[in-house]
A and B are shown apart, each in its own frame.
Chain A
Amino acid sequence: MTQRISKYQRFKMMNPVIQFFKFIYLSIKIMVVVAGGHGGTRNLN
């Protein structure tokens, strides 16, 4: 095992308060990517 993720990074990854805001941010960002529309490629290019 090599410690590739520092203690501070890990703290941020597991802190429920920080992660609560990250959860809101991720939910919105994912909605933008996934529900943000799709279409064809043949006419566009």
Chain B
Amino acid sequence: MSKIVILGAGISGHVAATHLRRKLSKQHEVVVVSPNSNYQWVPSNIWVGIGKMKSEKIYFPLAPLYKKKGIQFKQAKAISFHPEGDKTEQTPYVLSEYVVGNQKGQQEKITYDYLINATGPKLNFGATEGLIPGKNKAYSVCTYSHANHAWGGLNKVIQQLKAGKKAKILIGTGHAKSTCQGAAFEYILNVEQELRKHKVRDKAEVTWISNEYQLGDFGMDGMLMRYGSLTMKSHEMIEMIFEDRGIKWILGAGVHKVEDGVAHYENLEGEHKSETYDFAMLIPSFSGHGFKAYDKNENDITEKLFKGFMIVDADYTAKPYEEWSVRDWPETYQNPNYKNIFAPGIAFAPPHSISKPRKSKNGTDITPAPPRTGMPSGITAKLVADNIIDSIKGGKKSLHHKGSMGNMGAACIASAGFGLTKGSGVSITTFPIVPDYEKYPETQGRQLGKTFGEIGLAGHWLKLALHYAFIYKAKMKPFWWLIPE
């Protein structure tokens, strides 16, 4: 009998838990530890943030589903890792603290045979002075409650615009090393379309602010892509969309301070500038959760498990951009020091950024961190689960399933406006996610046929279809496993 503990019930944790439960007999325990009682389909937060979708549509409670399916659920947060146990507990465990109910505040040593750390990122608002969701007229759409809040702020501005006032809207990244530009990109296009629907577009100045060197970098060093019969660079495509929508842009900007209606930033030229706004949505930087780890003698061994995020089978040797290789990226998401610990999704420490690192003239790092979107989060979680399943069933450790982001495709279906007939979407697929310059030297590291962009109503339908399909899958409705990650 094996016990598999999964920390986190986001996209990667939930995917791992559901596959483990489906493929392992009930004699094996699957335990999920997560502080949030709900599963949320994060990509649809964009629509919550423009008031077009109720947050209840994007989340559902985990406890009843897990009870029905035979998955144990502990509404608790992991605090520290003890991969060798301790003086009184021989088995590896994670010290966790319950966050609700009678047990609130109580700590438990949750023992495991296999541990999957799927705790995603900490939304590190604290890294940018004054960037607090809902304060200083700046908002976030990273969770459904943030997105609800953002809609409240945006709606207020729309009402002011209707009353004849002018307003400035600023959307993008709130830190020199933020990631998730794709989410901000979706949000700015949706907000812009809402302003047009409310017939107040002419009264608002809409500006994109980002740590990207070029538009369309998306933390992936941009891409060369097919667009209809053309081959174009992603920055050309995004520039075309922004110009067409009358959106201004500020690039290479590391926002470091937010005050009431003012974002202060440094740009790659080393200039310190500020931008005023009446409504802002700025994505914070993502960081690890600051977990500690201890050996059986209670010595601190955090550096064996964490490098901000969790250490996995990546090549973390520091080297210049020119020497970066697709082979630096992990394949099995296994911790090299404790082979029964894995970290799929956003929880693993990337070897380096994907975009070329850039510093301002003052030496400030202004580089997007590498994104790990929903699809790679799901795919890496499933392959981790499959390796654990094979190891348990085969009776010996197996790492047969591999999935490097350098040999994996991703689709970014960015909503560009809501509405069954008036909506729009920008559909971009990339293969591979991390460019492989050895395999595809002529096409900037990507396979052209599989790296393409499309703009139009079909993109909106696709994003909506994905919303329903993935919620269906997450609810483990009949044949859920046929829907790919």
Contact = CB atoms under 8 A, between A and B. Distances in A.
Interface size, B (range):
35 or more
Interface residues of A, number: 31
Nearest to B427: A26
Question: What DSSP secondary structure best describes chain B's contact surface?
Answer: mixed
Interface string A2-45: 11110000001111100110110011011111111011111011
A40 B411 contact: no
A26 B460 CA distance: 12
Contacts of A22: 454, 456, 458
Contacts of A12: 456
Interface stretch (B5-13, B241-249, B275-283): B241-249
B379 A19 contact: no
Contact of B327 (A33, A34, A36, A42): A42
Contacts, number: 106
Given A33-B411, A34-B375, A34-B411, A14 B457 contact: yes
B459 A26 contact: yes
Interface in B304-360: 326-327, 329, 331
B402 interface: yes
B456 A1 contact: no
Given A4-B244, A26-B459, A29-B429, A38 B454 contact: no
B455 A13 contact: yes
A41 B331 contact: yes
Interface of A: 1-5, 12-16, 19-20, 22-23, 26-27, 29-36, 38-42, 44-45
Given A16-B457, A19-B458, A38-B403, 10 more contacts: A1-B246, A5-B241, A19-B461, A26-B454, A30-B429, A39-B402, A41-B326, A41-B329, A45-B326, A45-B327
Interface of B: 240-241, 243-246, 326-327, 329, 331, 375, 379, 383, 402-404, 406-411, 413, 421-422, 424, 427, 429, 431, 436, 438-439, 450, 452, 454-459, 461-462, 465, 484-485
